[in-house]
């Protein structure tokens, strides 16, 4: 029989809520005035760091992400602070050497993070093991993560077996991360009930509201025995964000699942962020309504808006419907990777290029090539044989843990930026985002002008070397798009927003 117990709440307002609705643009100055009030609510944890916030702080806000973390920790003294980590990718879009992972996690915990939610875009647990080991060694809480997706290869048994293996690897808790809002209420009930029967550690659920099912899924998850839910303050909830904290708390009040959180306090926090959100651009389609394309194509809402933006910049918005159909085909060709960073960018960008050129895989990005070569990890399923042969040309893909092929990076990087370093964390910022961090350091020292709106736009531009204007296509690695006919470079690299 399922144990009836108080439900714990992780609030995502200071990380995933504004990442989902406001392109991760919330400034630290808008977080600090409300931080102590949020600390007094009694949340299980506050998600405040990681994901896209690290890159965005330096690239667009001219802020030091490490300084943000320290300032929040100074004000939040009672509640555990939580972050999202992309396994061996850390907060970037490629694998980093083990010495970088070791030092990064040590600094993260030293600066105030208590819980690290660790995932891998392919659910390849080899890419999670080092991050889990170092988090445990540094005294942090390891929340190992299952990236939920739907495909012919992914069923509940697959996720349950993964959960068992993660517990065996030393996870302190497990999170089911439903980034596209695909979990239906009755399926989540079965999944959580069966998973709880197989593991002995707490289970947390993270859903987005894009499909409209997340609040319903949360209630069935509670009945099935989930321990912790991710929610966002009501003024930054729903749409592509999480279910509203206030509504979930009110729904459970007076029941055996009562969170014990005070609705009046939550209302004050929501009122504060109602004013904050007026400063930022929140696209209507992100904040309101249900996107049924999520259910039809298993594409996260944010990815759909990115595809639409890329096509619009090519004057090709009329090709969106065809691109949405192409995304599942590319995903199938690649062995059904979950559509989460960075695999969602790889799949989406290739789908756009295929449709724009009117020929599948005429141009193939180096990221896709590296994926097929095994340099992102083991794909969940078999790669399309024709595509595999086109890329590998008879060679065999890498079968080891990709990071085993990487030389240590810390000392080489130190020699490259020694003159700009003011603290050890600067070295890690540089390794993750070399050009972005270097420009940030130079602005900090007054060597180049401060970041202005026009410079922000310029930072997103790329130099096009082909007939097509592919400048809007997102890049996720320090590599180039290549034409299979001549292997010429097509554009310079920028990171996704």
Q: Could you tell me the CATH number of the domain that includes residue 388?
A: 1.10.472.90
Query: Considering the domain boundaries, does residue 271 fall inside one?
Result: yes
Q: Are residues 35 and 94 in the same domain?
A: yes
Structural domain that includes position 193: 8-278
Same domain, 57 and 204: yes
| Residues 310, 224 share a domain | no
Whether residues 135 and 246 share a domain: the answer is: yes
Residue 202 DSSP label: -
Residue 408 placed within a domain? no
Enumerate the β-bridge partners of residue 464: 491
Pairing of strands 115-118, 141-147: parallel
Residue 25 lies in a domain: yes
Residues 173 and 265 in one domain: yes
How far apart (Å, rounded) are the C-alpha atoms in residues 128 and 379?
15
Q: Can you tell me the distance from the alpha carbon of 107 to that of 160, in angstroms, rounded to the nearest whole number?
A: 32
Name residue, tokens 């517990």. Answer: 167
In a domain, 123, yes or no: yes
Which of these, 467, 472, 496, lies nearest to 483 by C-alpha position? 467
* pLDDT reported for residue 1: 57
Q: Are residues 85 and 19 in the same domain?
A: yes
What confidence score (pLDDT) does residue 489 get? 34
Q: Which of 403, 432, 452 is the last residue of a domain?
A: 403
Residues 255 and 299 in one domain: no
User: Does 35 reside within a domain?
Assistant: yes
* 355, 392: one domain: yes
DSSP summary character for residue 92: S
Residue 318's H or E segment, with its range, is none
Give every CB contact of residue 294 below 8 A, 6+ residues apart in sequence: 180, 181, 182, 210, 211, 300, 301, 304
Domain boundary among 403, 426, 457: 403
Q: Are residues 75 and 154 in the same domain?
A: yes
| Same domain as 253, residue 118 | yes
User: What is the structure's pLDDT at 496?
Assistant: 29
The string over 144-171, giving b where at least 16 C-beta atoms fall within 10 Å of a residue's C-beta and e elsewhere, is bbbbbbbbeebeeeebbebbeebbeeeb
**Angle 276-281-284 from CA coordinates, rounded to 5°:** 110
Task: Tell me whether residue 495 is in a domain.
Answer: no
CATH of residue 23: 3.20.20.70
Phi, psi (deg, nearest 5) at residue 176: -95, 115
Are 270 and 383 within one domain? no
Would you say residue 444 lies in a domain? no
Q: Which of 254, 213, 209, 207 is nearest to 229 (CA)?
A: 207
How is residue 261 annotated by DSSP? -
State the alpha helices, DSSP H only, in 341-423.
343-357, 366-372, 385-392, 410-417
Structural domain ending residue among the three candidates 379, 403, 427: 403
Tell me whether residue 175 is in a domain: yes
E strand map for 120-253: 141-147, 173-178, 203-207, 228-231
Q: How many domains does the chain have?
A: 2
CA distances, 136 to each of 109, 164, 171 (Å): 10, 18, 9
Averaged over successive runs of 10 residues, the pLDDT of the chain (497 residues) comes to 85 95 93 98 98 94 97 98 97 94 98 98 97 98 97 96 98 96 96 98 96 96 98 95 97 97 98 95 71 77 73 87 92 95 89 94 91 95 95 93 96 95 97 96 93 54 44 44 36 27
Contact indicator for 11, 233 with CB cutoff of 8 Å = yes
* 242, 352: one domain: no
């Amino acid at each position: 029989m399922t144990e009836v117990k108080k439900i714990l709440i992780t609030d995502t307002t200071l990380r995933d809520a504004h990442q989902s609705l406001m392109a991760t643009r919330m400034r630290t100055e808008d977080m600090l005035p409300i931080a102590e009030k949020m600390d007094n609510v009694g949340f299980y944890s506050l998600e405040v760091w990681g994901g896209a916030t690290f890159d965005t702080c330096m690239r667009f806000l001219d802020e030091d992400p490490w300084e943000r973390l320290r300032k929040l920790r100074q004000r939040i003294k009672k509640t555990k602070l939580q972050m999202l980590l992309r396994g061996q990718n850390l907060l970037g879009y490629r694998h980093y050497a083990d010495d970088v992972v070791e030092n990064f996690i040590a600094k993260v915990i030293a600066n105030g993070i208590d819980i690290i939610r660790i995932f891998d875009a392919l659910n390849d647990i080899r890419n999670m093991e080092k991050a889990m080991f170092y988090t445990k060694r540094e005294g942090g809480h390891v929340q190992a993560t299952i990236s939920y997706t739907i495909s012919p290869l992914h069923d509940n048994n697959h996720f349950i077996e993964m959960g068992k293996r993660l517990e065996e690897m030393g996870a302190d808790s497990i999170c089911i991360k439903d980034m596209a809002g695909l979990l239906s209420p009755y399926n989540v009930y079965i999944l959580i009930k069966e998973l709880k029967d197989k593991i002995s550690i707490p289970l947390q659920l993270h859903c987005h509201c894009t499909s409209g099912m997340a609040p319903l899924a949360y209630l069935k998850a509670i009945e099935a025995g989930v321990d912790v839910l991710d929610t966002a303050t009501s003024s930054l909830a729903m749409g592509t964000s999480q279910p509203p904290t206030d509504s979930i708390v009110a729904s459970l009040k007076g029941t055996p699942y009562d969170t014990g959180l005070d609705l009046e306090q939550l209302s004050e926090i929501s009122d504060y962020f109602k004013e904050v959100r007026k400063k930022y651009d929140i696209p209507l389609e992100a904040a309101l309504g249900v996107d049924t394309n999520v259910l039809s194509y298993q594409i996260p809402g944010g990815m759909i808006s990115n595809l639409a933006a890329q096509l619009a910049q090519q004057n090709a918005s009329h090709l969106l419907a065809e691109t949405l159909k192409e995304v599942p085909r590319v995903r199938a060709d690649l062995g059904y990777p979950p559509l989460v960073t960075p695999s969602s960018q790889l799949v989406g960008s290739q789908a756009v290029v295929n449709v724009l050129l009117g020929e599948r895989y005429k141009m193939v990005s180096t990221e896709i090539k590296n994926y097929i070569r095994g340099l992102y990890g083991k794909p969940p399923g078999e790669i399309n044989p024709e595509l595999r042969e086109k890329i590998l040309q008879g060679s065999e893909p890498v079968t080891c843990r990709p990071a085993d092929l990487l030389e240590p990076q810390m000392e080489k990087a130190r020699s490259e930026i020694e003159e700009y370093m003011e603290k050890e964390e600067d070295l890690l910022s540089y390794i993750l985002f070399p050009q972005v961090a270097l420009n940030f350091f130079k602005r900090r020292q007054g060597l180049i002008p401060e970041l202005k709106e026009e410079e922000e736009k310029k930072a997103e531009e790329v130099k096009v070397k082909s007939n097509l204007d592919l400048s809007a296509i997102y890049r996720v690695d320090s590599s180039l798009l290549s034409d299979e006919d001549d292997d010429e470079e097509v554009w310079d690299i920028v990171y996704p927003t």
